[in-house]
Amino acid sequence: MTQRGAAVVCGASMGGLLAARVLADFYDTVTVVERDVLPENTTQRRGVPQGKHLHMMLSRGTRILGELFPGLPDELAAAGAPVLDGSDPSRFYLRVGEHVLCRTGQFADPGAITMRLASRPLLETVIRRRVRAIENVTVLDGRDVVEPIMAGDRVSAVRVVDRASAAESVLDADLTVDSTGRSARTPAFLEAHGYERPTEQSYPVGLTYSSQFFRVPPGSIAETVAVIGPTLERSTGGGLLVYENDTVILTMIGVAGRRLPTDLPGLMELAADLLPAQITTALRAAEPIAGVSTQHYPASVWRRYDKLSRFPKGFLVVGDAVCSFNPVYGQGMTSAALQARALRDCLAAPATDDLSHRFFRATVRKLAPIWQANRLNDFAVSPVTGWRSFAQRALNWQTDKVMAAAAVDIRLAEAFVRILQLIEPSTTLFRPSMLMRVIKGNRRH
């Protein structure tokens, strides 16, 4: 495989780590620059506030991790991360509107839905350890990326400053990757050097989420995953996920500007209104770990770098710096994995034009179906007026019929779970065979 010189990745986020893993196969050296001092043990870190909330790598992302890091799923299992697949539907509690998806019977393809339920700190620690073990990868933590350095029409280096000593250095780069998250400064950098800023597609979400970790006795909660979606009439929802070391996380959400309690009693009172009684009973008897964490997420944003006619050579943007999905769907890490696979495919293919244009076009094919499905789902629970209210009522009526049938049909329930896990597109439910199941299911329901 042809080696291409030096690559620099700005940010040791999940997107940055996965990009570094891919680049290590194509570049002589890969340097990851991270502003946080990275912990050696499994712990929360400041640069990943989302790690304190319900977090998972979906089935599709888990598959990609297994490709990039052979043996990683088994390593996570050895670290205590529970394995969840489709062999026992009763371990899923998924409620949409007033309907709970069917939990009896067997999935036709249980192995297709496989997750290792590792907390974000554990998952990131294991992946970071694997990336650091790659011979041509170096991780520089405790350093800020000041700015990329232009040479003509390409980025040729990165200026870095040590946060402790304030010493500056310059890292030469044949390729620089921005993986610094939603607050990435690339749009301003482009504008300062005579390029257009990317168009931003966005829509308001008005999401607030409050979370609490618990330590629970083994087996005290039968469900491994519980999710209750908000509705137009009820702007709250929530979820629970079982992690390693007998820990679970409870995350309650409020949409359309609904604010949530920031104390544990208030959080449990809200949970008791939505979650099954056996779960809240177990949580009340469990040991809280630390305190309640609360975060606000105003809008989903997609920076359309694929639409730019000019872009610096030797420069890419990945992860949340490109597209920041509503976190309620748990797709961020899987999105990073999909982008890493797109990067690998672009680097492996014979070069026909500039890498950045090929990569950004490839990411559109990965991101667009997810963005469109999320946009539709968020529209269904957001207050609207005028002609939009008619469209919303039609959408919610349709969703209610599908979910009513999925409550009594294990095949429809399986299809819905596969969609949530990004294994199948949302259009799966509109196939003729599925529509017939919806009709029959509503007759039974």
- Residues ≥6 apart with Cβ < 8 Å to 397: none
Does residue 362 sit within a domain? yes
List residues bridging with 94 in a β-sheet.
227
The phi and psi torsions of 369 (rounded to 5 degrees) equal: -65, -35
The answer to whether residues 351 and 407 belong to one domain is: no
The burial class, CB within 10 Å (0-12 / 13-18 / 19+), for 133 is exposed
Q: Which of 375, 401, 420 is the last residue of a domain?
A: 375
CA 292 to chain centre: 21
250: CATH: 3.30.9.10
The whole-angstrom separation of Cα 408 and Cα 433 is 16
* DSSP β-ladder status, 168-172 and 225-228: unpaired
The answer to whether residues 219 and 188 belong to one domain is: no
Q: Which residue has the tokens 């909330």?
A: 53
The whole-angstrom separation of Cα 171 and Cα 177 is 13
The answer to whether residues 318 and 290 belong to one domain is: no
List residues bridging with 93 in a β-sheet.
226
- And the tokens for 158? 């990165």
The answer to whether residues 81 and 110 belong to one domain is: yes
Mean pLDDT, each 10-residue run in order, the chain (445 residues): 84 96 97 94 86 92 96 92 91 94 93 92 95 97 95 96 95 97 94 96 93 93 93 94 95 91 94 95 94 93 96 96 94 96 94 86 96 94 89 93 95 95 92 92 78
The whole-angstrom separation of Cα 343 and Cα 184 is 19
List residues bridging with 106 in a β-sheet.
none
- Residue 352's pLDDT is what? 63
- Residues ≥6 apart with Cβ < 8 Å to 415: 406, 424, 428, 429, 434
Closest CA to 88 of 445, 427, 413: 413
- Residue 432's pLDDT is what? 92
**342 residue type, one letter:** A
The whole-angstrom separation of Cα 301 and Cα 24 is 29
338: CATH: 3.50.50.60
The answer to whether residues 260 and 359 belong to one domain is: no
The whole-angstrom separation of Cα 156 and Cα 150 is 6
* Per-position b or e across 275-288, b if 16+ CB within 10 A of its CB: bbeebbebbeebee
The answer to whether residues 33 and 164 belong to one domain is: yes
Does residue 58 sit within a domain? no
The answer to whether residues 139 and 228 belong to one domain is: no
Q: What is the DSSP letter of 260?
A: -
What is the number of structural domains in the chain?
3
The answer to whether residues 137 and 280 belong to one domain is: no
CA 205 to chain centre: 16
* DSSP β-ladder status, 92-96 and 225-228: parallel
The answer to whether residues 158 and 307 belong to one domain is: yes
Does residue 209 sit within a domain? yes
Q: Which of 375, 403, 433 is the last residue of a domain?
A: 375
Closest CA to 265 of 292, 239, 298, 304: 292
The answer to whether residues 227 and 106 belong to one domain is: yes
Does residue 59 sit within a domain? no
Does residue 422 sit within a domain? yes
Does residue 28 sit within a domain? yes
Q: Is the Cβ–Cβ distance between 116 and 57 less than 8 Å?
A: yes
Does residue 316 sit within a domain? yes
Query: What tens digit of pLDDT does each residue of 218-242 get?
Result: 889 999 999 999 999 999 999 999 9
Closest CA to 405 of 177, 123, 120, 102: 102
Domain span holding position 96: 68-117+204-298
- Residue 50's pLDDT is what? 86
The whole-angstrom separation of Cα 402 and Cα 41 is 45
Q: Which of 252, 273, 298 is the last residue of a domain?
A: 298
The answer to whether residues 219 and 291 belong to one domain is: yes
Does residue 60 sit within a domain? no
In a 3-state reduction of DSSP, which class is residue 355? helix
- Residue 122's pLDDT is what? 95
The answer to whether residues 145 and 178 belong to one domain is: yes
Q: Is the Cβ–Cβ distance between 49 and 38 less than 8 Å?
A: no
The whole-angstrom separation of Cα 127 and Cα 96 is 33
The whole-angstrom separation of Cα 135 and Cα 129 is 12
